[in-house]
């Protein structure tokens, strides 16, 4: 029971760090937290996702990082290696 509670507290701490990183435009921390498995679509007490927080604070690069992280998590849920999944998708596209 104790480890379950610690995991829950740890997950909440990671979520808080994600929202803070989004508010500060800290792309590196967003990437690290995403790789650690944080839920990129979780909502804070006000009902905002990290993407909402980043855009509200004018951090377009952080918002883009969050969108890329969401795509990476989607590929992982499909059981795909994100690098291979998106390389195949983009190889067929021609640059203008």
3-class secondary structure for 27-85?
HHHHHHHHHCCCCCCCCCCCCCCHHHHHHHCCCHHHHHHHHHHHHHHHHHHCCCCHHHH
User: According to the model, what pLDDT value does residue 49 have?
Assistant: 96
Q: Which single residue is written with the structure tokens 């979520």?
A: 15
Query: pTM of this prediction?
Result: 0.74
Nearest to 36 by CA among 4, 62, 67, 73: 73
Residue 20: give its domain's CATH number.
1.25.40.20
Mean pLDDT of each 10-residue bin along the chain, 96 residues long: 53 92 96 89 95 97 95 83 63 52
Task: Report if residue 52 sits inside a domain.
Answer: yes
- Overall number of domains in the chain: 1
Q: How far apart are CA 63 and CA 49, in angstroms?
A: 11
Task: Report if residue 28 sits inside a domain.
Answer: yes
User: According to the model, what pLDDT value does residue 16 have?
Assistant: 94
User: According to the model, what pLDDT value does residue 58 have?
Assistant: 97
Task: Report if residue 96 sits inside a domain.
Answer: no
Task: Report if residue 29 sits inside a domain.
Answer: yes
């Amino acid at each position: 029971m104790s480890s379950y509670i610690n995991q829950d507290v740890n997950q909440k701490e990671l979520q808080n760090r994600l929202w803070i990183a989004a508010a500060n435009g800290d792309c590196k921390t967003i990437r690290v937290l995403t790789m650690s498995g944080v839920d990129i679509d979780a909502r804070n007490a006000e009902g905002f996702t990290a993407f909402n927080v980043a855009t509200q604070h004018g951090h377009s690069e952080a918002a883009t990082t969050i969108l890329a992280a969401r795509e990476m998590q989607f590929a992982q849920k499909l059981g795909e290696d994100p690098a291979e999944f998106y390389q195949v998708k983009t190889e067929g596209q021609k640059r203008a």
